Structure 1
Amino acid sequence: MSDLIQSLAISSSGMQAQGQRLRHLSENVANADTPGYRRKTISFEPEQRFGRDTGRVEAGPVQLSQRDLTQIFAPDHPLADASGYYAGSNVDLIVEIADSREAQRSYEANLRMFDQARQMSASLLDLLKR
């Protein structure tokens, strides 16, 4: 039974990590037109207890993309410099959409694993009741 509970915890940690990733991706999309905005990314790291991997995953710290900001020519913009350019964001909407689809599919895969483990636990309890 503890293996089933462990699989529920692993699936749950994956869903939490992908949910956090989706949150940052939606912030990136929302700020795609914000001048000076840098794309946020997170990495996943294995959770460790007492120096051993638990099988769970956790989101690492938020990192800002170091890619150059796009220079936008708009001489009438209040942030424009003497040459008429200002720094836009470095968010690429195509990359954000592709990443969000990947995160959504990973979330759904973890959800299916969670549901499968839950169904197996319920079946085991039904067998033990007999």
Structure 2
Amino acid sequence: MTTFGAIGVAGTGMTVYRKWLDAVSDNLANMNTVRPTDEAAFQARYVLAQQMGGTDGGVQVAGVALGSAEGRLVFEPSHPLADAQGYVRYPDIDMSSQMTQLIMAQRGYQANAAVVDRARETYQAALQIGRG
């Protein structure tokens, strides 16, 4: 693989991890979104990745899977959106799972950024050798 190839592959990885970070942050921001029981709960977003063509092709976002629209019912009779029985609907999002995914996506993004930096440094060193 060439230096430019490494930068390209790492760049595709950074894109996928950035989209994963966006999805996790959206899930965390909406984990306390309350809806009436006759509406669907906020659906968590999960990024699906797939390999691009060939062994040196990198990775791309294949799509987004959505979590359950059923959510979980919580008894909060004083809530303004509560039904006659006193229930409201919350998304079924687990904070600890989302925080774990956030850390994994962050580390993956950092690793790919480090590859881009090292490939750039290698390319610059090669240019310096050519000048000397």
For normalisation by structure 2, the TM-score amounts to 0.87
For the residue of structure 1 that corresponds to 2:130, the secondary structure is helix
Taking every aligned residue pair, what percent have the same amino acid on both sides?
26
* 1:29 is the counterpart of 2:28: yes
Q: Which residue of structure 2 lines up, in the alignment, with residue 7 of structure 1?
A: 6
For the residue of structure 2 that corresponds to 1:62, the secondary structure is strand
State whether residues 42 and 69 of structure 2, in contact with CA within 8 Å, keep that contact through their aligned partners in structure 1.
Answer: no
Structure 2 residue identity aligned to 1:40: R
Unaligned runs of 5+ in 2: 35-40
For the residue of structure 2 that corresponds to 1:87, the secondary structure is strand
* 1:16 is the counterpart of 2:15: yes
Structure 2 residue identity aligned to 1:46: Q
Write the mapping of 1:69-88 to structure 2, written as runs, cut at 5 A.
Answer: 69-88=71-90
Offset of 1:98 from its aligned partner? Answer: 0.8
Write the mapping of 1:50-129 to structure 2, written as runs, cut at 5 A.
Answer: 52-66=54-68, 68-129=70-131
For the residue of structure 1 that corresponds to 2:52, the secondary structure is strand
Q: Which residue of structure 2 lines up, in the alignment, with residue 43 of structure 1?
A: 48
State whether residues 42 and 61 of structure 1, in contact with CA within 8 Å, keep that contact through their aligned partners in structure 2.
Answer: yes
The superposition leaves residues 13-54 of structure 1 with CA deviations (integer Å, 9 ceiling, x where unpaired) of: 111110111011111111111121111111111112xxx354
Matches of 2:68 and 2:7, distance apart in 1: 37
- The number of equivalent residue pairs is 126
For normalisation by structure 1, the TM-score amounts to 0.88
The superposition leaves residues 62-112 of structure 1 with CA deviations (integer Å, 9 ceiling, x where unpaired) of: 211137511110123233223211211111111111110011111111111
State whether residues 46 and 54 of structure 1, in contact with CA within 8 Å, keep that contact through their aligned partners in structure 2.
Answer: no
Over 6 Å off, 4+ runs: none
Unaligned runs of 5+ in 1: none
For the residue of structure 1 that corresponds to 2:59, the secondary structure is strand
